[in-house]
Amino acid sequence: MTVIPVKMKKTVLVSGGVGFIGSHVTVELIEAGYDVVVADNFSNCDRTCYEGVKKITGREDIPLVEMDFCDLAAVRKIFADYPIDAVIHFAAFKAVGESVAKPLMYYRNNLTSFLNVLEAAQEKGGVNVLFSSSATVYGEPDAVPVTENTPRKPATSPYGNTKTMCEDILRDTVKASGGALKGILLRYFNPIGAHPSALIGELPRGVPNNLVPYITQTAVGKRECLSIFGNDYPTEDGTCLRDYIDIVDLAKAHVFAVTRMVEGKMKQDCEVFNIGTGRPVSVLELVNAFEKVNGVKVPHKFAPRRAGDVTAIWADPTLANEEMGWKATRSVEETLAAAWAWEKHLAGK
Ligand code: WQD
């Protein structure tokens, strides 16, 4: 699958562009021929990932604006300073557990930053908005795989709630704009892995909450033992099922979505796509695959279920496959090898 290069030079603003997903998306946009403006407040990322993006793309001239999207004046300024055709909004807090402890911090940050992006986009007019949503909006689904028409369920955390709320805010704003704004919501399943160059990847602060960084840190010796949360779920091996999607595949989906917007190919003013592989993998299967492909042991034990976890969720990605022409291509093994290469790079090995 090759990304079709964009016909006219277009500029994309990537908020949170130095983060895990943002940095990979920036690389793919540049490789597809877009001009990218990266903006970040460095609250949960490291400048080395910006350096990695420059190295991978061979481009020294990628604008980087250090700013907080909760500052409306700063958001207005970046929209005034650059000829922005589309904005991809990643800048948000994302730790589920922390959001339960600090809901106001999550609502204030994640809602204010997005409201500011929409305010500035609306004032400018003609801007396309891509929002990074999550499969978390489906809650514990009644049936799997989930399509875009699967009903959303009440979120189990303030973090998840901000995703649902931002989806609604975008939809309402696009509707009220009378065609001046267009929007796409991408609902990600479980993004994992790293760029094959091992120059950019995930940089969790403190103890990782997500499975794959916990696996790689255990394998490298930074953590003693991985706890597998629950082995009594009603699945084949008793552990939860998820749709783990390679970060580069996920990043490419953004290029397809932005191109669809800027080339006027949208069928509705606000569209939704599931971004997943359609392939359920259990926690145990993932751990075993990691050990096998990388030839390294991941000490693990079974632990009680984690509060708020759903038993099984994976995507029906047919709409994104057929309508956008995007498809996930990487195998779980390739992705887990890339995740391990990145962890070793971090460890200086
Ligand atoms: C995956 C599976 C755990 C850690 C979350 C957010 C979602 C999205 C991605 C991010 C589950 C199990 C995990 C560990 C384990 N947002 N696990 N031991 O919970 O599917 O999704 O991250 O910004 O919105 O909810 O992903 O990686 O945390 O967990 O056994 O140490 O791994 O129980 O079954 P999850 P995850």
What is the average pLDDT across 31-36? 98
Torsion of CA 140, 317, 199, 25, to 10 degrees: -100
98 touches ligand 1 (CB under 6 Å): no
Closest Cα to atom 7 of ligand 1: 136
211 touches ligand 1 (CB under 6 Å): yes
* 195: pLDDT strictly greater than 80: yes
92 touches ligand 1 (CB under 6 Å): no
Q: Give the side-chain half-sphere CA count within 13 A for 259.
A: 22
Q: Is 273:320 a contact under the CB 8 Å cutoff?
A: yes
Nearest atom, ligand 1, residue 188 CA: 8
Query: What structural domains does the chain harbor?
Result: 9-202+244-277 (3.40.50.720)
What is the average pLDDT across 120-143? 96
Torsion of CA 62, 68, 73, 77, to 10 degrees: 0
| Whole-number percent of the chain with pLDDT over 70 | 98
Closest Cα to atom 15 of ligand 1: 228
User: SS3 breakdown of the chain: % helix, strand, coil, rounded to 5?
Assistant: 40, 15, 40
How much is the pLDDT for 209? 95
* 216: pLDDT strictly greater than 90: yes
Give per-residue pLDDT as tens, 46-74. 999 999 999 999 999 999 999 999 999 99
The residue type found at 276 is G
* 7: pLDDT strictly greater than 60: no
136 touches ligand 1 (CB under 6 Å): yes
Give per-residue pLDDT as tens, 218-233. 999 999 999 999 999 9
Between the alpha carbon of residue 110 and those of residues 91, 119, 164, the distances in Å are 8, 14, 11
Ligand 1 centroid – CA 95 distance (Å): 10
Ligand 1 centroid – CA 193 distance (Å): 14
Torsion of CA 52, 53, 57, 63, to 10 degrees: -130
Contacts of 349 (CB under 8 A, 6+ apart): 220
Ligand 1 centroid – CA 301 distance (Å): 16
Confidence of residue 180 (pLDDT cuts 50, 70, 90): very high
What is the average pLDDT across 330-334? 98
DSSP assignment of 84-114, as one string?
A: -SEEEE--S---HHHHHH-HHHHHHHHHHHH
pLDDT, averaged across the chain:
96
pTM check: above 0.85? yes
228 touches ligand 1 (CB under 6 Å): yes
* 5: pLDDT strictly greater than 60: no
Ligand 1 centroid – CA 104 distance (Å): 22
What is the average pLDDT across 178-203? 97
Q: Is 102:141 a contact under the CB 8 Å cutoff?
A: no
Nearest atom, ligand 1, residue 190 CA: 9
Q: Is 77:3 a contact under the CB 8 Å cutoff?
A: no
How much is the pLDDT for 3? 58
Ligand 1 centroid – CA 210 distance (Å): 5
Active site residue 82: no
210 touches ligand 1 (CB under 6 Å): yes
Confidence of residue 349 (pLDDT cuts 50, 70, 90): confident
Between the alpha carbon of residue 64 and those of residues 24, 104, 156, 167, 253, the distances in Å are 15, 29, 35, 27, 23
Confidence of residue 122 (pLDDT cuts 50, 70, 90): very high
How much is the pLDDT for 156? 87
How much is the pLDDT for 6? 53
User: In whole angstroms, what separates CA 157 from the centre of its chain?
Assistant: 18
Ligand 1 centroid – CA 6 distance (Å): 35
Q: Round to whole Å and give the CA distance between 224 and 87.
A: 41
* 99: pLDDT strictly greater than 60: yes
Give per-residue pLDDT as tens, 101-111. 999 999 999 99
Confidence of residue 88 (pLDDT cuts 50, 70, 90): very high
* 2: pLDDT strictly greater than 60: no
Q: Is 201:194 a contact under the CB 8 Å cutoff?
A: yes
Ligand 1 centroid – CA 329 distance (Å): 22
Closest Cα to atom 28 of ligand 1: 210
In the set 34, 159, 188, 244, the catalytic residue is 159
First to last CA, the chain: 32
Reduced to 3 states (helix: H, G, I; strand: E, B; else coil), residue 73 is helix
Closest Cα to atom 3 of ligand 1: 229
How much is the pLDDT for 4? 55
82 touches ligand 1 (CB under 6 Å): no
Nearest atom, ligand 1, residue 286 CA: 32
Nearest atom, ligand 1, residue 163 CA: 24
